[in-house]
Amino acid sequence: MNNKNFTYKKSGVNIKAADKFVNFISSVSSKKRGKKKFSNIGGFGSISNIPSNIKQPQIVACTDGVGTKIEIANSLNKFDTIGIDLVAMSVNDLIVQGAKPLLFLDYISINKIDLIKLKSIIKGIVKGCKLSDCELVGGETAEMPGTYSKGKFDIAGFAVGVVGKNKILNKNKIKKNNLILAIPSNGLHSNGFSLVRYVINKKKININKNKFLKSELLKPTKIYVKEIINIISKNLINGCANITGGGLADNIKRVIPDNMVADIYLNKIKTLKIFNWLKKNGIPENEMLKTFNCGVGFCLIINKKNLKKVQSYFPKDYKPYVIGKIINGKNKVKLNGSVNWNK
């Protein structure tokens, strides 16, 4: 029998490269927490304290990915923003129930470890955690030759947050005549990219040579954590919704009580240039509304008297504005009129 000296490295898995990557993650995510150095990275599990100032703490957990936005990153060979997207997609869901993000973990699967690419992704994840005031406490990097083709990869994120029992946002707090506010998005965020890519392919557009698309398609998802947690702490909102896959109607109906309706006027929506571009390139309005955020990244439901206070917590570019109100009814969401795509 011939001895072929089979090794893991020959099969396509490089443990030394993986170890170097873990050391890099530890170096960029380490920081002081009081007198204790944060050192969860590299262990079998991470250990963290539940904040002592939260009464009757409830744990909230979320997971998500960034979908086929990854293919745009591959096409543009730019990977420093999708890590921010990864964090945003989970933490923006956590805050819908009033939870403050505490911890984040990532999972990266790739055909072959590419340290330059992976370091760029991790730097984005660390930045996203900083914007969310949470900590990257661990994760997993899986080198999977034969599962992914050359250069291909996928990422997933997992966030854990905490909320006091009396601060949980639930449907019972939403009342008739509450206002519905739109907080602007900064673009596509991380939804609808399969349709975006389909349009680009059908139109035979080279995004590397299109300045507008090149600047728009990898804009990282806006993270709303700090503003939302601030107004929750002041008891200024009754409900909220993260507008992701499924668009405005599908997401806001998830927080509306059974005997009420979110009565929304589409002509009040302040859309963005990227959505106008998609609409002009052949996507009908009904498809736009059920696929993209169309300029509304997040919705708030508040008492009318709190409008100016709520708006004061947001910077100019993300100041919430009224797009509708809560009325009695059974269908949960009513979309009136049409979006002014040329605003």
What are 233-275's pLDDT values in tens digits? 999 999 999 999 899 999 999 999 999 999 999 999 999 999 9
Residue range 210-228: average pLDDT? 97
CB 302 within 8 A of CB 178: yes
Determine which of 48-52, 90-94, 203-207, 219-223 has the lowest per-residue pLDDT on average: 48-52
Q: Please give the angle made by the CA atoms of 162, 67 and 15, to the nearest 5 degrees.
A: 85
pLDDT at residue 6, rounded to an integer: 56
DSSP type of residue 45: S
pLDDT at residue 257, rounded to an integer: 94
pTM metric for this prediction: 0.90
- Top-confidence residue, 147 or 219: 219
CB 235 within 8 A of CB 151: no
Residue range 146-173: average pLDDT? 91
Whether domain 171-187+222-336 has CATH 3.30.465.10: the reply is: no
pLDDT at residue 10, rounded to an integer: 54
CB 175 within 8 A of CB 85: no
Checking if the pLDDT of 188 tops 90, the result is: yes
Residue 25 φ/ψ, nearest 5 degrees: -60, -45
pLDDT at residue 43, rounded to an integer: 65
pLDDT at residue 11, rounded to an integer: 52
Q: How many whole angstroms separate alpha carbon 17 and alpha carbon 257? A: 51
- Top-confidence residue, 130 or 53: 130
pLDDT at residue 174, rounded to an integer: 95
pLDDT digits (tens, 9 = 90+) for 285-300: 999 999 999 999 999 9
- Four-CA torsion 189, 135, 21, 8, nearest 10 degrees: -90
Q: How many whole angstroms separate alpha carbon 48 and alpha carbon 317? A: 35
pLDDT digits (tens, 9 = 90+) for 13-67: 565 666 665 666 666 665 544 444 445 656 677 778 888 888 899 999 999 999 9
Q: How large a percentage of the chain has pLDDT more than 70?
A: 87
Checking if the pLDDT of 320 tops 80, the result is: yes
Give the start-to-end residue ranges of the domains of the chain: 15-32+55-167, 171-187+222-336
Pairing outcome for strands 135-143 and 153-164? unpaired
| pLDDT band (50, 70, 90) for residue 145 | confident
Residue range 61-89: average pLDDT? 96
Q: How many whole angstroms separate alpha carbon 211 and alpha carbon 65? A: 26
CATH topology of domain 15-32+55-167: 60s Ribosomal Protein L30; Chain: A; (3.30.1330)
Q: Quick one: the chain helix, strand, coil %, rounded to 5?
A: 40, 25, 40
pLDDT at residue 34, rounded to an integer: 41
Residue 285 neighbours by CB distance under 10 Å: 13
Mean pLDDT of the chain: 89
How is residue 243 written in tokens? Answer: 């507008």
Residue range 100-109: average pLDDT? 94
| pLDDT band (50, 70, 90) for residue 2 | low
Residue 78 neighbours by CB distance under 10 Å: 14
CB 56 within 8 A of CB 166: yes
pLDDT at residue 253, rounded to an integer: 95
Torsion 109-115-121-125 (CA) sign: positive
Residue 5 neighbours by CB distance under 10 Å: 6
pLDDT at residue 162, rounded to an integer: 96
